């Protein structure tokens, strides 16, 4: 069964450093998402991406964050200058369609645990 | 904010049916009910969704009341691996939001 994969599984970085989190969405999916979950808290939406453009972003997704689909398979989240409060699990997801209805379930990867020291 | 309310936690005996309730009293006619779960430290997993008819797949059944103000997710024969946080999410067909809006969910503990 096709699945979303993410690398690395755990990333440790120093405050102020740049990190890139990588995701390979399901191959025929067209919509891509990043969510994060701070330990013990709710899952929070960061950004959605379609046709090489951001389609929606949350207040969390400020100028320190960027997303890119550098080739036909990878989808990346870059944090330019990490802060302590960026420590969280970051989940990538993909779907064939957006919104609600048929064939638009979002499938999630296993996550990358980001620890900022 | 999430448009749903769920009990914070539930227990169920292994092998029995787990029935997880969800209230969505403000749901509108074009909004679907989705269920996801998150096993500890893993990514959320899609389970099932429906509009107004009851739905069943290999994982679960979804029962939506006639007035659509509440629904129940049924895991017919719960196993220890079903221990997870279960999220009920309402999304509109014409929603301009691409995102899933997550509440606190129900922590389901399956006991041997």
- For residue B35, pLDDT beyond 80: yes
* Mean pLDDT for the stretch of residues A34-59: 93
- CA distances to A34, A39, A75, A89, B51 from A10, rounded to whole Å, are 16, 14, 17, 9, 38
Using a CB-CB distance cutoff of 8 angstroms, which residues of chain A are in contact with residue B49?
A: 100, 105
Task: Nearest chain B residue to A97 by CA: give it.
Answer: B98
Tell how strand A10-13 and strand A31-37 pair up. unpaired
Give me the residue from B43, B93, B101 closest to A101, CB to CB.
Answer: B93
Q: How confident is the model at residue B41 (pLDDT cuts 50, 70, 90)?
A: confident
Task: Nearest chain A residue to B98 by CA: give it.
Answer: A99
Picking from B23, B11, B18, B30, the residue whose alpha carbon sits closest to that of residue B103 is B23
pLDDT 10s digits, A82-116 = 999 999 999 999 998 877 667 688 999 999 999 99
């Amino acid at each position: 069964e096709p699945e979303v994969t993410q690398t690395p599984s755990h990333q440790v970085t120093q405050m102020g450093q740049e990190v890139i989190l990588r995701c390979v969405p399901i191959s025929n999916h067209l919509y891509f998402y990043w969510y994060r979950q701070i330990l013990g808290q709710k899952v929070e939406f960061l950004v959605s991406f379609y046709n090489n453009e951001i389609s929606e972003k949350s207040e969390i997704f400020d100028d320190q964050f960027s997303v890119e689909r550098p080739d036909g398979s990878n989808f990346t989240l870059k944090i330019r200058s990490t802060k302590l409060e960026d420590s969280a699990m970051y989940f990538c997801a993909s779907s064939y369609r957006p919104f609600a209805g048929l064939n638009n379930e979002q499938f999630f990867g296993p996550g990358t645990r980001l620890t900022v020291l | 904010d999430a448009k749903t309310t769920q009990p914070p936690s539930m227990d169920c005996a292994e092998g029995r049916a787990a029935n997880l309730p969800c209230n969505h009293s403000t749901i509108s006619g074009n909004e679907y009910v989705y269920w996801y779960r998150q096993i500890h430290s893993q990514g959320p997993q899609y389970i099932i969704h429906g509009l107004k008819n009851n739905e069943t797949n290999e994982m679960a059944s979804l029962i939506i009341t006639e007035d659509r103000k509440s629904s129940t997710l049924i895991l017919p024969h719960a196993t220890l691996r079903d221990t997870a946080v279960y999220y009920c999410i309402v999304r509109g067909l014409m929603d301009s939001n691409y995102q899933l809006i997550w509440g606190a969910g129900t922590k389901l503990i399956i006991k041997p």
